[in-house]
Amino acid sequence: MGDKYSTKKISSTLIEEIKRALQSVGNFGSIEVYITKGIVSQITIRNIKKTVNSRNIDNKLS
Q: How many structural domains does the chain have?
A: 1
Q: Phi and psi (nearest 5°) for 38?
A: 80, 10
For the entire predicted model, the pTM comes to 0.74
- For residue 50, what pLDDT is reported? 86
Taking the C-alpha atoms of residue 43 and residue 26, their distance in angstroms, rounded to an integer, is 16
pLDDT, position 15: 98
pLDDT 10s digits, 8-60 = 999 999 999 999 999 999 899 999 999 999 999 999 999 999 888 767 666 66
**Residue 9 belongs to domain spanning:** 2-61
User: In this structure, how many other beta carbons lie within 10 angstroms of the beta carbon of residue 34?
Assistant: 10
What percent of the residues of the chain are helix, what percent strand, and what percent coil, each to the nearest 5? Answer: 40, 30, 30
- The three-state secondary structure class of 34 is strand
